[in-house]
Amino acid sequence: MAAIAAVALALSGCLSGPSRPPVKAWTVEPATADSARAPVRLDELTPPPFKATRLGGVTVLPPYDTAPIHVKRADGTLAEDAYNVFAAAPSQLLRRPVMGALAQEQRFGHILPSASSAASEAVAEVLVSELALDCRDGRKAKVRLGLNIVKGREVVLASEAEGSADAASGDYTEAFSKAFNDAIREGLVNLK
């Protein structure tokens, strides 16, 4: 009886067809000090630096707000990649790179997480309107975002930016990290 069960189990594996590839989970990492732009002298900054800035909302708009990586196909349609996903909800995953970029910028002072009870002079808000693997022109990670700095209830600085990075190697952590960090850096430089 045990021999029959073992043979049946072995055959069921052979008859079930090819196994599906494992799902790969990817992250978006903060820029390293080597890739960050040169520090800005505090006495050269306009507007004057804030003493502390809180990270407010990092909002990722649908359909990009779910874990599967979205792919823009050559025909322009959008699809979810079932085998390549972000390791967490994109709105949560992008918080660390945003805090890192704000800290490197220096004019925002001490960067506080959203849950901090410490007082801040400003709040940084990020709205991501595109976060996709674009296959229409090669294979590139693409990010489009808006950045607002809010003081009180007024937006005092705002910008929009985008970034892209080659993803042909299949290392989506590297590609999306570069694309996002380029976009957030551009957004910080263009704040008006």
Domain boundaries along the sequence of the chain: 22-189
Q: What is the pTM of this model?
A: 0.82
- Residue 192's pLDDT is 85
pLDDT at 47: 55
Dihedral sign for Cα atoms in the order 36, 187, 166, 174: positive
pLDDT along the chain (192 residues), means of 10: 48 52 93 60 57 96 97 94 96 96 88 94 97 93 96 94 96 96 94 88
Q: What is the pLDDT of residue 9?
A: 40
The CATH number of the structural domain formed by 22-189 is 3.40.50.10610
The pLDDT value given to residue 42: 43
